[in-house]
Amino acid sequence: MNLYHLTVHKAAEMLNRREIKAQEVLEAVSRRIDLVENKIKAFITLTLDQAEKKAKELDDRHEFTGLGGIPYGVQDNLCTLGVTTTCASKMLEGFIPPYDATAVGRLKAAGAVMVGKLNMDEFGMGHFTETSCFHPTNNPWDLTRVAGGSSGGAAAAVAAGEVYYALASDTGGSLRQSAAYCGVVGMRPTYGRVSRYGLVAVASSMDQVGPVTRNVTDCALVLNLICGYDGLDSNSLEAEVPDYRGYLETNLKGMRIGFPREYFENYVDESVRDAVKKALLKYEELGAVVEETGLPHSKYALPVFRLLASAEASSNMARFDGVRYGYRDEEAQDIAEMMSNSRGRGFGPEVKRNILLGTYVLSKEQYDTYYLRAMKVRRLIKEDFDRAFEKYDLLVAPTTATVAFPRGERNEDLSDLLTIPASLAGIPAMSIPGGMVDGLPVGLQLMGPRLAEGTLLKAAYAFEQAADYHLRTPVLEV
């Protein structure tokens, strides 16, 4: 038995019944990393020595509850006590946080075993995990193709069997888009459902932490641990967290599903449209009522996101000045030169572009013209979703306009076009494997009203059980 192929829930059952040991599970993952990491390049930092110590402690005490003993990875923009957190940037190269992000801390308290920090686009700014200052990440299904971004390291590591699951972040769709390209499950919870404390901020009004897993059941298990109020996050929601496993059923009779026509226009590859339409037929077979609907303002989502996200990023990036932590130019003659050189040499081109655009958008002369108007359109986008959810339980659409493509072949903006609207609205959304095109996975995106993670999980689980796409894995020659 290849233990690295086990699902989270199966591995947890076997650990609890003493059929396997945490050290055996970790050893299987460690061997898998040795075999494929040089091809995938999903990690920035490995923490296998610390993981071995924790696995041994768990075996000695036989403390296996929840996700105890299960190896996982953390995107490198989530702070980890005593382990470097770089955001894939020279600016934070070597930075070691003195605390854990809340989501990381909750998994640690549950006995989960972190094996490393995962690659990403620099500070989450990018589309295909190519702006990392360390290396790009490759797609396990085809090493010449993109893994998505900015959470490409997390999705690729899960798909390749290097970790059982991962914690990642989603601002404009990073987590969902990467999951779609790599054929795994990625959930962006309701804004505020999972604490952002310890997540290095990019666009604070949109950043959210979520799980990347191999199937829907595993996603529910991780959500059970990481969701919940946190007084350290001023935007954390004080809402009861249900046991998400209770939503894992296949009876969809009476569920109303809308598919927004704007997500099926000509910029979406015909093969992707066809795969998603087949998935909608499957939902009808499962008893759901499926109808076309509209989100008319979603066509403005991309420019709105670019303006607002860059504005927030320019503000958040101001703290990286070479004074308190991070990269510092030691050759400067005075503090002004030191700060200028540190930012100039510490940030990569994509981050600099966002800072420049954001500074312009927030300038006194342009604030009303760009930022204020973008905020007004963001409200219209949210109201479109609110109206749709008065009639439908959830919306289903493609996650991305294409399957994963060879590097340098496509327009970057199109990769997030279908994920951005949900981010702007602050609603829960997830991507699940929804089909295959030429041997590459197609992502099926499910979007629901505020705090409707359970509804999404129910619809995702029912589809998953009626299909077999989640069982398909990439074949890596080693």
- How far from 291 is each of 158, 268, 270, CA to CA, in Å? 33, 19, 20
Contacts of 91 (CB under 8 A, 6+ apart): 123, 320, 326, 327, 342, 343, 346, 347
| Pick from 143, 146, 144, 86: nearest CA to 116 | 86
How far apart (Å, rounded) are the C-alpha atoms in residues 475 and 250? 30
pLDDT at 412: 61
Indicate if the pLDDT at residue 13 is higher than 90. yes
- 15-33 average pLDDT score: 96
pLDDT category at 287 given cuts 50, 70, 90 is very high
Domain boundaries, the chain: 3-249+457-471
Would the pLDDT of 377 be above 90? yes
Confidence (pLDDT) at 152: 98
What pLDDT is attached to residue 123? Answer: 98
Residues near 455 by Cβ (< 8 Å), separated by ≥ 6?
A: 247, 393, 394, 448
How confident is the model at residue 414, as a pLDDT?
A: 74
Supply the mean pLDDT for the chain.
Answer: 96
Structure tokens at 102: 């809340």
At a CB cut-off of 8 Å and minimum separation 6, what does 302 contact?
A: 413, 416, 417, 420
At 28-76, the pLDDT tens digits run: 999 999 999 999 999 999 999 999 999 999 999 987 878 999 999 999 9
Quick one: average pLDDT of 78-91? 98
Express as a percent the part of the chain with pLDDT over 90: 93
Reading the block at residue 291, the tokens are 């109808």
Which parts of 362-399 fold into alpha helices (H)? 373-391
The lowest-confidence range among 78-92, 195-209, 413-427 is 413-427
- Considering the entire predicted model, what is its pTM? 0.96
- pLDDT tens-digit readout, 240-286: 999 999 999 999 999 999 999 999 998 999 999 999 999 999 999 99
Asked if 251 contacts 388 with a C-beta cutoff of 8 angstroms, the reply is no
| Residue 163 tokens, joined | 């970790």
Of the listed ranges 2-16, 76-90, 437-451, the least confidently predicted one is: 2-16
pLDDT of 66 reads: 85
* pLDDT 10s digits, 429-466: 999 999 999 999 999 999 999 999 999 999 999 999 99
- How many other β-carbons are positioned within 10 Å of the β-carbon of residue 239? 14
Beta bridge partners of 211: 167
Using alpha carbons only, give the angle 288, 240, 224 rounded to the nearest 5 degrees: 70
pLDDT at 409: 77
Task: Give residue 365's pLDDT band: very low, low, confident or very high (50, 70, 90).
Answer: very high
pLDDT (0 to 100) of residue 63 = 74
Q: What is the pLDDT of residue 45?
A: 99
Decide if pLDDT at 183 tops 90. Answer: yes
Residue 134 in this model has a pLDDT that exceeds 80: yes
Residue 413 scores a pLDDT above 80:
no
User: Between the CA of residue 320 and those of 1, 82, 264, 462, what are the distances in Å?
Assistant: 47, 20, 41, 46
Q: What is the pLDDT of residue 410?
A: 66
Judge whether 154 and 184 are in contact, CB under 8 Å.
no
pLDDT of residue 325: 78
Q: Which of 108-117, 144-153, 327-336 is least confident?
A: 327-336
Written as one letter, the residue type at 158 is V
| pLDDT above 70: residue 419 | yes
132: which 2 tokens? 């990392």
Rounded distance between C-alpha atoms, residue 162 and residue 30, angstroms: 8
Going from the C-alpha of 305 to that of each of 137, 207, 274, the distances in angstroms are: 25, 12, 28
Model confidence at 478: pLDDT above 70: no
Portion of the chain with pLDDT greater than 70, in percent: 99
Q: According to the model, what pLDDT value does residue 44 have?
A: 99
Q: What average pLDDT score do residues 77-99 get?
A: 97
Residue count of the chain, please give it: 478
The DSSP 8-state label assigned to residue 80 in this structure reads B
Whether the bond between 150 and the residue before it is cis, its omega within 30 degrees of 0, is yes
Look up the CATH number of domain 3-249+457-471: 3.90.1300.10
Cα 433 to Cα 396: distance, rounded to the nearest angstrom: 13
Residue 312 CA: distances (Å) to CA of 122, 171, 204, 283, 357: 16, 11, 7, 39, 10
